[in-house]
Structure 1
């Protein structure tokens, strides 16, 4: 299996810091790190590992770490969450850009038990907006001048994926394949 997801650990802090401070990655993020120092990054990782509304993974391709995936704002009562991801390695970015959506949906719907994934995407992140459209993810609207970053306002595009709509489409991968890809898919998150 080429793509796997390993639960985030404190040992990943240095790698995340490297990725998160790369201008090509950070330009598409809502925030920039105010303190790009390893001890602060380790504290952040420790804090998110304790949260019940946040689950995250390091994405591996061919056994090498290439990116980050998170599920946040997990609301078990209303069965909705958001997801965020980035692929640091350009070669892997091209390879995984289209298929990553299937993994995200499988984990959110079948492991976390969600009914809806809501994604907020900066307007400058045109490639991810195109990918959302490619997957027929429902475009909800635009929050005008919603994020202020680097002296500029940015619009935020809102997309949502309902479990029922996603299940109507032919799936590229079997459920067992998806489960195997997530090394941390276990009873810890099952609802």
Structure 2
């Protein structure tokens, strides 16, 4: 699995993924289908000193998006996010946690990664728990999406906990191309 820095040639594909119903139903926001906004977004992430953003490649095919955002370098923590846009590879979502934890804790030296999952995304929440993350909070009626309120679960993984529960995932090391 490769993670590649986002470039201009990825913008159309990311926009198509991000505005597809299969992806956007689990996102907080619905974005307009606009290449102009994509160019602004790319400019913003290129300037972001507290985030990393990649497209995911598997077997030479682009399959999704993954990021670490809101990194607090002093306290060595950040949030991670992902989605699979190519549904042919949806099952690979289950492997992204170990790849991310290994990268964040070993390569970046972070001490904690956090994430948020809407209540409607039960599969992803179960996945995080299965890999050892802990739910540390529930924000009730946090997101209004399509006229319906959703709770959001906050989960976290510490480096120390990953060293205990992540032993079986040591081989999951992404090739990160910056």
1:46 and 2:43 aligned:
yes
Q: Which residue of 1 aligns with 2:20?
A: 22
Q: Which residue of 2 aligns with 1:5?
A: 3
Give, in whole Å, the separation in 2 of the partners of 1:25 and 1:98: 16
Give, in whole Å, the separation in 1 of the partners of 2:41 and 2:169: 35
Alpha-carbon distance, 1:98 to partner: 2.2
1:56-88 CA-partner distances (Å, limit 9, x unpaired): 100011010000001101110111000000011
Q: Which residue of 2 aligns with 1:183?
A: 177
In structure 2, list runs of 5 or more residues that go unmatched: none
Give, in whole Å, the separation in 2 of the partners of 1:58 and 1:51: 16
Give, in whole Å, the separation in 2 of the partners of 1:43 and 1:108: 26
Q: Which residue of 2 aligns with 1:151?
A: 147
1:166 and 2:162 aligned:
yes
Alignment of 1:30-179 (within 5 A): 30-33=28-31, 35-94=32-91, 96-169=92-165, 170-174=167-171, 178=173
TM-score, structure 1 as length reference: 0.88
Alpha-carbon distance, 1:49 to partner: 1.1
Give, in whole Å, the separation in 2 of the partners of 1:182 and 1:171: 21
- Give the 4+ runs in structure 1 shifted more than 4 A: none
Q: CA RMSD in A?
A: 1.3
Give, in whole Å, the separation in 1 of the partners of 2:45 and 2:150: 26
The answer to whether the 8 A contact 1:10-1:46 is kept is no
1:9-64 CA-partner distances (Å, limit 9, x unpaired): 2221111100000011000001110x311121111111111111111100011010
